[in-house]
Amino acid sequence: MILLTPMDIHNKDFKRSFRGYNEDEIDDFLDKVVNDYEKLFRENDRLKEDLARAQKDNEQYQQLEQNLKDTLLVAQRTAEEVTSNARKNAEETRENTAKECANKVQEAEMKADKIIEDAKKKAQVIVEEYDRLVREKNNFLRKIKVTLESELAVIDDTMSQLPDPEKEEREKKAMGTQAEALQKALSGHQAVPYEAQELAKEDDAADKQEG
């Protein structure tokens, strides 16, 4: 649809007739129409421009909205992936931690068992060493006892073979006493005293035992 411009209305010529309208009134009216139409025409152009800008802005808004939707969708997918990865990592971490804890507990138990086993072995070695030392001590004491007994036997035998000075002294005294008693008996025709006889008997008995 082609619209008339204000210039088209202003330049419009009408044919004259014998019984026509008043030209001045028609011109005044047309001037008003032109002015009003020109305002409407300008307003229409402005509205068209506004509409074009609005359509352009709307397209930009629609593109922005689409971009926002795409960004939101990407963000949502990213969030889901991050959440999924986080859950997966958390599960893997939990499993790895549980395995590591189990391994550490098992390792600690193995170390404890080894320590206990080593302690038992050391205790067994100590007990065996103690028994060995006790046996060696007993053997040593028995050897010492046998050696000492042998030495004492040798000493006793040696002492039995050594002369007894006290015995010789007793014999000398006894012989002197007997000689004196006999001399007195012979000189005085007196009997040997009883004490001298008993002493002589004891010396004779002692000599027999030692002989």
Cβ pair 200, 178 in contact under 8 A: yes
User: Over the chain, what is the mean pLDDT?
Assistant: 77
In a domain, 206, yes or no: no
Number of structural domains in the chain: 1
The pTM (predicted TM-score) of the whole model is 0.33
Q: Which residues have C-beta within 8 Å of that of residue 33, sequence separation ≥ 6?
A: 9
pLDDT band at 190 (very low <50, low <70, confident <90, very high): very low
In a domain, 61, yes or no: yes
Q: Which domain, by its residues, includes 143?
A: 6-10+21-182
In this prediction, residues 58-86 reach a mean pLDDT of: 87
In a domain, 194, yes or no: no
CB-neighbour burial class of residue 38 (10 A; exposed 0-12, middle 13-18, buried 19+): middle
Residue type, 162: L
In this prediction, residues 141-149 reach a mean pLDDT of: 84
In this prediction, residues 148-158 reach a mean pLDDT of: 79
In a domain, 80, yes or no: yes
In this prediction, residues 8-26 reach a mean pLDDT of: 65
In this prediction, residues 122-127 reach a mean pLDDT of: 85
**In this predicted structure, which of 15-19, 98-102, 139-143 has the lowest mean pLDDT?**
15-19
Q: Which residues have C-beta within 8 Å of that of residue 35, sequence separation ≥ 6?
A: 6
In a domain, 202, yes or no: no
In a domain, 87, yes or no: yes
In a domain, 151, yes or no: yes
Largest CA-CA distance found in the chain, in angstroms, rounded: 243
In a domain, 149, yes or no: yes
Give the C-alpha distances (Å, rounded to integers) separating 163 from 69, 157, 158, 169, 210.
137, 12, 10, 11, 11
Please determine, for residue 113, whether its predicted confidence score (pLDDT) is greater than 60: yes
Predicted local distance difference test score (pLDDT) of residue 9: 64
Predicted local distance difference test score (pLDDT) of residue 125: 85
In this prediction, residues 55-80 reach a mean pLDDT of: 87
pLDDT band at 21 (very low <50, low <70, confident <90, very high): low
